Structure formats: C-alpha cells, structure tokens
Chains A and B, each alone.
Chain A
Amino acid sequence: MLTTTLTVALVGNPNAGKSTLFNALSGLRQRVGNYPGVTVEMKKGQFSADGVPAELIDLPGTYSLAARSPDEMVAVDLLLGRRPEEPRPAVVVSIVDATNLDRHLYLTSQLLDLGVPVVVAVNMIDAAAAQGLTFNYAKLAERLGVPVVPIQANKGLGIPELTKAIRAAAESGKVPHGPAFPEAFDSVVEQLQKELSGEIPLFLTRRLLLDIGGYVEQWLVERHGEELKAKLAAAREKLSAAGHATPGVEARTRFAWVRAAVAAAVTKPTVRPVTWTDRIDAILTHRLWGTLVFLVVMFLLFQSIFLAAKPLMDAIDGVRESVAKAAEEVMPSGPLRGLVVDGIIKGVGSVLVFLPQIMILFGFIAILEDCGYMARAAFLMDRVMSRCGLSGKSFIPMLSSVACAVPGIMATRVIENRRDRFATILVAPLMSCSARLPVYVLLIGAFIARPGSSGWLPGLVLFAMYMIGFTVAPLVALTLKRTLLRGAPPVFVMELPHYRRPKVISVLRRMFEAGKAFTLRAGTIICAAMVIVWALLYFPHTDANGGSYPDRLEKAEEEARQHVDLRKELKAKENASQQEQDELAKLDEEAALPDKLRGEWKRQSILGRAGRWLEPAFEPLGWDWKIGVAAMASFPAREVIVGTFGLLYDVGEVDTKAIGNNEADDEAKEKAAGLTRAVQKEWAPDPVRGKYGVPVALSVMVFFALCCQCAATLATIWRETKSWLWPAFTFSYMTTLAYLGAMLTFQVGRLIVG
C-alpha cells in the first residue's frame, strides 16, 4: 500500500487532448508551477489514483523528447528526475489520439526508454470509431508492453479505469522497454557513455548522439569544449557508414516498431473515408474563400476586443470612480487620503480595467485553438509575417495589440519558438493601442482641426499616427531578429490539427485563467507604479509659506461650492448691474481657484521640479517643461497625460473619456473643451509653441505613438519573459525611438513652417 503522494506526469503531442484529460482528472484543484531560467509553466493538479493521493504534472505538448531549447529540456529533465524542485514521476501517462495512433505512439516509444512505468491513454475513441477504426486494446497493450486504456477525455469516459491503471502501474513498478535499436548504434552509444564516464544517464547519451545541434549537445559541448564536438562528428560518421545515419535511424526504428504494433491491433477501413476536416479545409485553407473567412474572423475578433469590451471597461471605471468618491468623503484630507484615492484605488481600477479585453481575447483564442482554426490562421498569414522575420503565429498577438498590448503580449504564448515569441513581445507595444487615441484626439482637436484647415486633415493625421506603429513594428522586429534575437532559423513545420467542436467549459476556464494570471502577477506592479507616480506628484504638499495644499484646496473648493447657486443666478441674468457683474467676476475667479491651486501644487511637486530641471532635454522636441512633466507623469498609462495636462494648465482634472466623445455629459465636455482652449491660449504667446504649434503637437503625438508609457505593458512583459531585462530593454528602446521620432518631427516641421 502506498502512503506517500504519487507523482504522475502527463505527456502527449499537441492536440492529443492533454489539457482536457488534465482537467478531467484534477478538476479545480490546480495551480501553476514555475521553473527558474525558462519561460515554460507547467500546471499541477491533485487527483485520486484509485484511492491514492496523486499529483499530476501537465508537461508542455511535444512531438518528441529531442529537446532543442532550455524550455524543452525542462520536460525531459523532469521525467528523468533531474529537476531539484520535483520528485521523479512514479508513472508517466502517455496520451495519444486514436485517429492518428502511429504518429502519437512515436512519442510513447520514447517514453518507454525513460525507465519509469508508463500507462497509455488512447483518447478520442469516438472520432476513431466514426472513421471506421476498430481497436484491440489487449493486443496493443501486449505489443507495447504497457497497459493501454481507451478514454474519451471530453466526456470523462474511461477516467476511473485510467486512474486504476495508474495506481497498478505505480505499485508494480514494472519498467517498460522501447524498441531495440540496431546493434551498431548501441555499441557507439555505449562507447560514448564510457568516454563521458557515466556523467549523464544513458537516455541522454542517446539524445546527445541523435539530436544534431540539440540541447544536450549544446550543453555538453559548452562543458567539455570542442573536443566533444569532434568526437560526436566521428561517431555520427561511423553510424552513417554503417547505414544508420542520424537522426533517421531513430525515426525508422521507432516507426517500424510502432506501425507493426498498430497493424496488429487496429483494423482500418480499406478506403480512407473523407473526413470533416477534409471538407472544412477545402474551404478554410482555400486561397480565396479561406482568405475571406479569415478576414471576417479577424474583424470579429478585433471588434470584440475593441468594442464589446468597452461597456465593461466603462462600468469598471464607473465603479472605481464611485469607490474613490466614497473614500474621499469618509477619509480626512491628507497624504493618506491622497494615497488611497489617487494611488491605490486608481491603481487597482487601472488593473481591473484591462480584464474585459484580456478575457474576451483569450475566449476567442481558446475557441480558435480548440476548434483547430488557430493553425489555419497562422498558415494563411505566414508569408506576410515572414517578411519581418516572424511567422504566421505572430499575427493574432500583433493584431490584438492594436486594441491593447497587454492581451496581445499574453497571446504570444501560442508561439513555440522562443526568439519569435520574444521578438513579437518586444514590438507588440509599438502597435497603436486604444489608449493612444485620447492623446491624438486632444492634440488634433487643438491644433490640426482648426477653422479654415481642410476637413480631411484631422483624419489624415490620425491615420498617419496609426501607420507609424504599423511600419515601425515590423522594422524593429526584423532588426531584433537579425541582432539580439539572432539564431538558427527555426523550423516552421506546423501541424494542422483535425477540426473539433470547442467545449464551453474549457473556453471559460482559459478566460478565467488569463484574467487571474494578469491580475495577480502584473497587477501588483501596475499598482506600485501608480502609487510611485502619485507620490512624485503629491510631495512636497506644502507651498513656499508652509501652507498645506490639500488644506488650501479643500477650503477653496468649499467656498466655490457655497457660491455655486449665486454664480449660476448671476450668470443667467440678462441685464446685470455693474455691481452684479463685478460680483460675478469675483465668483468666477473663486470657482477657478481650486484648479489653479492644483496646477501650482503639481508644478512644484517633485516631478514638476524634475520637469523644469530637465527642460533643456525637451527643447529639441519643441516641448516646454509642462509637456515634459505630463509625459513623465503618464508613465503608468499614456492616457494619464490628458488628465495631467488638465492639472498643469489649471483647468482641473479632465476626464479622458470626454475627449472626442459626443455622448459625454456637458460638464465633462466643457472641461475637455476648456483644456483645448487652455493649451491653445498658453501656447499662443510662447515664441516656440506659438509659432510652431502644429509641429509641437505632432511631435507630442509621435512621441506617444512610439513610447512605452504603460506600466501594464511593462509588467506583462516581465511576467511573460520572467526577467526584468526585457521590460527594461523595451522601455529604453521605445523611449529612444520616441525621443528621436519626436525630435525629427519637430525639427522638420519647424523648417516647413519656416
């Protein structure tokens, strides 16, 4: 009787139904395991193996144990018990697709060499039956030398039998053996094993010999030097001469064995039936129809993350505002209230506001992946994306980034190749996201769409801003793939899986998991960035005479509130007396005082002072220090610049949503229009900005098109790459690009204006 927890590893090809089986076994008892130094995550879940508590580790889907990267090596090391953080699995469950047994059993035959009991789970027996296949499972088990259990993971069929088999396999401890390799091969491996003085297990010595340029070779050559490389070349040469060239010898040996086993145990219809996949692919990978369907699907995806998410995001924003208001009312004024209202509540709100987009996108991706369309989309877009050194798999992450880079970066998980994935992550924030729109609209409204200018000009400028991202991103991707992320060209061979009906529960699960991962991991960092920028704009909170700004502000607001009705009354009067007009002017001034105080406060805050100090750096861009401060303060999120502009130009906080929105309420619209006027007015007498208003506005827009002023993006990059290096790199290169782009825009614009 086993008393300790069994460790069980789940291994299978992509699309074998691995996740479905994992969920069927472990239900909601799941968590994510991280491994230092690599980007892979493996899910772990608890289940009962016929009464014995067991931990199930879901290894990444793979076609083979021939590891080519550190990420792939994690799975192999884990199976061999070479990862310090995990015990060696007591049983390996090999899940295979019944409709494509030969190919899936290739991986099984590799698992048989690990020296660990193996249980084979034959999945999707219903689809196989529909194709006219009949199985003799006892025969298959006899040929493979391990227990075989038919299952249908999506319906939970065969799961009790599978857990029984797992327990029995663990208790028997019977170690299987894969197919025998040619003797000549075995003797070369033995020789090599001796020369390495048993440093690595026999399994890895075989991999060292078979995987030309594979991970084991890279790793050992680094340790032993070029001498080993020469030795390997000689050994491979010798095998080739004996008619067992690598890597073909492995494929021939294993497939011969596997196909013989399948031939003995499975009866196939003599004529291959036309499957649904054949029929659907005739349309979906067709040059014309396939392209049309693709465009419709992408349009729906894009619209849903752009538009369907909007009401939800507005609702979250609304809740945040009412919570902030409530907190403002119950808390006494002071730094603590400021921290809670402007730092923490704003921070949490700005994290939650991303959830609708993330969850909708992941719902879409789950459906597209589960039904098999994802690979077709990558197939259709591969040529276009290959122009910038990427592959078709980068298309959906890049497209999603036009709505928001955060879900886009998370969606790069569908890209297996590490360098392609990183290149996509690093350029995704260049795509013009929806948060840039308020910045563009504000500045276009103030400087481009002026009376007398052509009606098509504002639209053209907006279009140009979007095109900046679409042109710069591929160029940067290409540069990265040729420099920092250079390496052997990856293999682009991609399986196009059978079409299947997606399951609602698994789609919901993916949406929930994506939302949870973002909130827990990236959320804390976004909140921290919000709090830091809040503090930089809050302190010092006393004026030159030692008066406290929060107190002065409260008093001024209170006075303005008291006279609000009187002011309205006076304003409405048609023929007011001189005295009444003076009174109104005084009251107007009083009403404007809070915003003036806010501006004064921000201008002498730490960030405000830093802005003035840094003014020479902003000069080549045509910016004054106020623009500089607004740009710096927008580090947590681009759209913050609109609000900060409002504060610095003494019009109070402007609601970003009211910019260019006809449905906003009158007060918010009035404020937004007030900001436009204030910027125009402030810039008019200035020698630089007065004359060159348009180039300055364009320079600010270009800066925001290229910069990475978005803490959420940086936090997500950190989470996905598991290193601070990449977000730091992204921020640096994008800020440099933005600075140079803005400078070029201003300087060229200045020459044109003359």
Chain B
Amino acid sequence: MPTLADLSPGQRAEVLAISGDPALVQRLYELGLLEGEHVEVVALAPLGDPIEIRFSNSRLSLRRAEAAGITVALNADCRMRDSE
C-alpha cells in the first residue's frame, strides 16, 4: 500500500488510514485530515523532507516519517475533488 510519503509533487490521493504516535494521529484528525479526505502533495522541501500537502482549504507541512503512517490510494483521475 502506498503512503503519503511515496507521492511526488502534483500527485493526488485519498487517505485510507492514519497510524502512528497517538499525539500525531490526534493532531492530524484535529486539522481535518480524516480517512476519506483527498490530498495533494504540493511541494518537497529542498532536502526532500518535509513535504507540503494540501487538502480542502488547508496546507500542512509533514515530515516524511509522519507522512509514512498515512496509507493512501492514488487518485486515478487527476481532477481534485474537494471534500465537502
């Protein structure tokens, strides 16, 4: 299963499951990153870590290690559907 850490900039995916340290998982939930959300990887920092993601109207920076706990399904169609 691919994770958010495997995506390159411009790729979009749907979040299937979030795992990791409870504090991290809770923070992601609080920021509105839930299972079923559609996410786009916007950019990578100069050294490839952390990554910038966008979903709904939010942008987050996550470290690769944190993003590796988020399993995703790559979106076949590239048009981003904004989750309502």
> Which residues of A approach B to under 8 Å, CB–CB?
63-64, 66, 68, 99-100, 102-103, 106, 211-214, 247-248, 250-252, 255, 259, 263, 268, 272, 277, 281, 285-287, 290-291, 375, 378-380, 382-384, 386, 392, 488-497
Which residues of A sit under 8 angstroms from B29, Cβ to Cβ?
A: 247-248, 250-251
Question: A103-B58, A277-B59, A285-B52 given as contacts; is B32 within 8 A of A291 (CB)?
Answer: no
Please state if A281 and B59 are interface contacts (CB–CB under 8 Å): yes
Interface of B (DSSP majority class): mixed
Interface size on B, residues (CB 8 A): 35
Which residues of A sit under 8 angstroms from B49, Cβ to Cβ?
A: 382-383, 386
Question: A263-B84, A287-B44, A380-B46 given as contacts; is B23 within 8 A of A495 (CB)?
Answer: no
Whole-angstrom CA separation of A7 from B72 in the bound complex: 46
B63 to chain A, nearest CB (A): 5
Which chain A residue has the least Cβ–Cβ distance from B79?
A271
Q: Mark B5-27, 1 if CB is under 8 A from A, else 0.
A: 00000000000000001111111
Which chain A residue has the least Cβ–Cβ distance from B49?
A383
B74 within 8 A of A: no
Please state if A100 and B61 are interface contacts (CB–CB under 8 Å): no
Please state if B45 and A492 are interface contacts (CB–CB under 8 Å): no
The 3 closest A-B pairs by CB, nearest first: A251-B29, A212-B22, A383-B47
Please state if B22 and A247 are interface contacts (CB–CB under 8 Å): yes
Q: Mark B70-84, 1 if CB is under 8 A from A, else 0.
A: 000000000010101
Residue from B46, B48, B63, B82 in contact with A290 in the complex, judged by beta carbons closer than 8 Å: B46
Number of A-B contacts (CB under 8 A): 124
Question: A384-B47, A493-B28 given as contacts; is B34 within 8 A of A252 (CB)?
Answer: yes
Which residues of A sit under 8 angstroms from B66, Cβ to Cβ?
A: 491-493
Which residues of A sit under 8 angstroms from B26, Cβ to Cβ?
A: 64, 66, 211-212, 247, 251
> Which residues of B approach A to under 8 Å, CB–CB?
21-32, 34, 42-50, 52, 56-63, 66, 80, 82, 84
Please state if B31 and A491 are interface contacts (CB–CB under 8 Å): no
Whole-angstrom CA separation of A290 from B84 in the bound complex: 31
Residue from A100, A277, A492 in contact with B50 in the complex, judged by beta carbons closer than 8 Å: A492
B35 to chain A, nearest CB (A): 8
Q: Which of A214, A250, A490, A496 has the most B CB atoms < 10 Å from its CB? A: A496
Which residues of A sit under 8 angstroms from B43, Cβ to Cβ?
A: 281, 285-287, 290
Please state if A382 and B84 are interface contacts (CB–CB under 8 Å): no
Q: What would be 25 A-B contacts, judged by CB atoms less than 8 Å apart?
A: A103-B31, A106-B30, A106-B32, A212-B22, A212-B26, A251-B30, A252-B34, A268-B84, A272-B57, A281-B52, A285-B45, A287-B46, A379-B52, A382-B49, A383-B49, A488-B23, A491-B23, A491-B24, A493-B24, A493-B28, A493-B61, A495-B31, A495-B60, A496-B52, A497-B59
Which chain B residue has the least Cβ–Cβ distance from A275?
B57
Whole-angstrom CA separation of A129 from B38 in the bound complex: 24
Please state if B30 and A63 are interface contacts (CB–CB under 8 Å): yes
A701 to chain B, nearest CB (A): 33
Whole-angstrom CA separation of A621 from B64 in the bound complex: 47
Please state if B63 and A255 are interface contacts (CB–CB under 8 Å): no
Whole-angstrom CA separation of A496 from B62 in the bound complex: 10
B75 to chain A, nearest CB (A): 15
Which chain B residue has the least Cβ–Cβ distance from A288?
B46
Which residues of A sit under 8 angstroms from B34, Cβ to Cβ?
A: 248, 251-252, 255
Whole-angstrom CA separation of A68 from B27 in the bound complex: 11
Please state if B42 and A63 are interface contacts (CB–CB under 8 Å): no
Which residues of B sit under 8 angstroms from A99, Cβ to Cβ?
A: 57
Which residues of A sit under 8 angstroms from B44, Cβ to Cβ?
A: 287
Whole-angstrom CA separation of A83 from B27 in the bound complex: 26
Whole-angstrom CA separation of A382 from B48 in the bound complex: 10
Which residues of B sit under 8 angstroms from A384, Cβ to Cβ?
A: 47
Which residues of A sit under 8 angstroms from B21, Cβ to Cβ?
A: 488-489, 491
B34 to chain A, nearest CB (A): 6
